[in-house]
Amino acid sequence: MADIKQSEIARLAGVSQATVSRVLNNDPQVNEEMRRRVLAVVEMLGYVPDARAQSLRAQRTRLLGLVIHRAPHALAYDPFFSALMASIIEEAGRHGYHLCVDAARTPRSQRAIYEELLRTRRVDGLILVESETRDQRIVRLTEQGFPFVLLGRYDPPDAICSVDNDNVGAGFMATEFLIRKGHRRIAYIGGASGLTVTRDRLQGYRHALEQHGIAYDPHYVVFTESSLLGGQRAMEDLLQLPQPPTAVVAMDDLIAVGAMRTAQGHGIRIPDEMAFIGFNDTPLCEMVEPTLTSVAIDIPTLARVATERLIALIEGRPVEPRRLIVPAQLRERESTG
Amino acid sequence: MADIKQSEIARLAGVSQATVSRVLNNDPQVNEEMRRRVLAVVEMLGYVPDARAQSLRAQRTRLLGLVIHRAPHALAYDPFFSALMASIIEEAGRHGYHLCVDAARTPRSQRAIYEELLRTRRVDGLILVESETRDQRIVRLTEQGFPFVLLGRYDPPDAICSVDNDNVGAGFMATEFLIRKGHRRIAYIGGASGLTVTRDRLQGYRHALEQHGIAYDPHYVVFTESSLLGGQRAMEDLLQLPQPPTAVVAMDDLIAVGAMRTAQGHGIRIPDEMAFIGFNDTPLCEMVEPTLTSVAIDIPTLARVATERLIALIEGRPVEPRRLIVPAQLRERESTG
DNA sequence: CTCCGCAGTGAATACGATTTCTCAGGAATT
DNA sequence: AATTCCTGAGAAATCGTATTCACTGCGGAG
């Protein structure tokens, strides 16, 4: 049924298989009469070229790769990745590409997955998320000359194509916002301390304190796992302090909500006694009580730009500048009064 | 660098390219001495076969397809799909398959995407979610003899391979639970009325009422969009009734949370004055105040089984029984007292 | 009138792997 | 010792498409 190939079309149209290929690829070299004849047959049989053959011949699959780490947890619980995926898929589709999503449970399986995708040439390029400060993937991909784009890294090596939200700026924005509300004892809860995103937002936090003449107190900075539970644990620690903070900047919404829950559990009223601010402006913000102020990452733009650039790299078009930063935006809600 | 092919390995090992292929495919016909020699070279160069060439030759890509509808909304806001994806990817990986995720904004683009995946033979099989009562995709795929598995449809045509959570049972379970808590005026908020999942859970709801001698009142049944906003709108309607319900069965957690928000907005205390129960047991349930009782769909099992069966279909292994039902489970939390 | 160039086409080949066919050479059988 | 059998490995075909190369007419220039 579906086993129609170009040679079949060619036979029915009375032309050579090469001509069929030319017609389908809009080769200007082909005569109008021939084109019509071929297209008529193609139309009639509903022929579409076999992607597998095209992949081999053209040495490109038109597949982009995205690997989610810390699966299945991150994928199932963090809407950031889902939102990112949705926009990547959309933009990829606009260019005739598809998205292959993989997931890794452990750093070890992660390495293996990248290695496989790379070696088997199953995908044409990769979007790297959750880049760490000294990322082996970057080294490996670069030495292989494999197209990739970093998404979500603030200080990539030069010559690496990257797109990032302005994490330093976002950290600064969140912290300054709280300072202007009158807070002086502001805590920062980070995710894994190795992640650049954790560090970048922390840097913005310190910047804001400094700029407003508030001394940096390391007791107010804790690192935890990026999850509801992580936020809860971190908050427990902060509440042990002789002088607990009056406001909390949490590295993501999940952590923020976890921290809020714990604070509420201790009878603390939000935002009157303690203010909270998260990052990513996930749907979660609207779902909790009180609703959570969050610094918005423009995920659709981030995804769109990263995808566009990756495809440009794959197709050998120039990509300048190598590094692009998408600005953040603060969405004020109830948790900051 | 990475442009090693079998002929290269063959040359270095002093054998023919066919032998290299045989070694890599564990052909017992090959001598131990040869095998060692080839493997040594393969190991040294880190050679891995090109997936594109394998795809063409074997007429199979080892890619599974999943199309998310109502994108980007559904993907970004409904953790169900993310959780599903995570488990599909994991199970697929276990069998050497990858997952290609697509997204459709409109029913029209949806048709186009399925048609393309089908015709280009880009994927070996499809997992269909959100099956409707008279689904054109099923007709099309069946007539093409294309491997696919239905996920989340309770009453598939015979001979169609499907996996579903027990939606009727889940609807029954949720409703009966509320009845046992003493509720008599119980509302049901469904998603799009065409979705089988909406109808199946409704059927279970009616069943439970009937079995406990409660008259079915159509005023207590409303359909809405599967979103926070949809839940809010539906709740507004229910609150207009002369005798508002004392308990609400919402077709998914998102709708339930939206409905709860609106009820709270009207000063209704939960669960004292009104009880709520959702479906899917998404992470959201733990994040809201009060936490939401939900009927758990065993997503990992659902995904695992569906993926296993799809791969079996693809590889021509028998799949019996055609229809499989994964039981649901109620997770009691604060919203039902 | 001859030759060149060019548009348009078909034949042939490449892409990288798997699989079938074929055959050499050693073991086993008579 | 001659024939058959079997094992193992090479040569070649194949998957479906894109592309290079070579050829055919035909028109215009010299």
Q: Quick check: A1 pLDDT over 70?
A: no
Phi, psi for B140 (deg, rounded to 5): -60, -50
The predicted model gives A311-337 an average pLDDT of 92
**pLDDT above 70 (res B309):** yes
Q: How do residues B97-122 score in pLDDT, each as one tens digit?
A: 999 999 999 988 999 999 999 999 99
What is the pLDDT, as a whole number, of residue A223?
96
pLDDT tens-place string over residues A155-187: 777 788 999 889 899 999 999 999 999 999 999
Q: Which two tokens stand for residue B36?
A: 């060692």
The per-residue pLDDT for A2 is 58
Interface residue B290 vs chain A (CB under 8 A): no
At residue B83, the pLDDT reads 87
- Count other C-beta atoms under 10 Å from residue B179's C-beta: 18
Domains identified in chain B and CATH numbers:
2-57 (1.10.260.40), 63-165+300-329 (3.40.50.2300), 167-296+331-336 (3.40.50.2300)
What confidence score (pLDDT) does residue B65 get? 97
B115-121 long-range contacts (CB < 8 A, ≥24 apart) are B115/B140, B116/A48, B117/B65, B117/B67, B118/A2, B118/B144, B118/B146, B119/A2, B119/A46, B119/A48, B120/A48, B120/A49, B120/A50, B120/A51, B121/A2, B121/A50, B121/A51, B121/A52, B121/B59, B121/B61
CA distances from A11 to A20, A50, A255 (A): 10, 18, 64
Question: Which residues of chain A neighbour B77 with C-beta distances below 8 Å?
Answer: 79, 283
Structure tokens at B207: 């069943």
Question: What contacts A194, CB < 8 A, 6 or more positions away?
Answer: A132, A133
Which 50-69 residues of chain A touch chain B by CB within 8 A? 50-53, 55-56, 59, 61, 63, 68
Whether nucleic acid strand D comes within 7 Å of the CB of A79, the answer is no
Q: Residue B130 has what pLDDT?
A: 79
pLDDT band (50, 70, 90) for residue A72: confident
pLDDT of A105-125, one tens digit each? 998 899 999 999 999 999 999
Question: With contact defined as beta carbons under 8 Å apart, do A193 and A255 qualify?
Answer: no
DSSP state of B130: S
B161 pLDDT above the threshold of 80 = yes
Which string of DSSP letters, residue by residue, matches B157-213?
Answer: PTT--EEEE-HHHHHHHHHHHHHHTT--SEEEEES-TTBHHHHHHHHHHHHHHHHTT
Termini Cα distance of chain B: 64
Average pLDDT over residues A17-44: 91
Find the Å distance, CA of residue B53 to C1' of nucleotide D15.
9
Which of these ranges, A41-45, A252-256, B3-7, B152-156, has the smallest mean pLDDT? B152-156
- Interface check B72 vs A, CB under 8 A: yes
Cβ–Cβ < 8 Å for B148, B128: yes
The reported pLDDT for the residue numbered B131 is 75
Is residue B122 within 8 angstroms of chain A, CB to CB?
yes
Identify the residues numbered 219 to 278 in chain B whose C-beta atom is closer than 7 Å to any atom of strand D: none
Helices B32-45 and B17-24: crossing angle in degrees, nearest 10, is 90
pLDDT at B132: 73
- Give the pLDDT confidence score for residue A88 in this predicted structure: 96
Pick the range with the lowest mean pLDDT from A94-103, B7-16, B183-192: B7-16
Decide if A288 and B283 are in contact by the 8 Å CB cutoff: no
- Out of A89, A287, A289, name the one closest to residue B228 (CB): A287
Instruction: Give the global pTM.
Output: 0.82
Q: How far is A247 from chain B (nearest CA, A)?
A: 20
3-state secondary structure of A101: strand
pLDDT of B1 > 50? The answer is: no
Whether B52 and A52 lie within 8 Å, measured CB to CB? yes
Nearest chain A CA: its distance from B82 CA (Å): 5
**Angle, alpha carbons A153-A159-A164 (nearest 5°):** 20
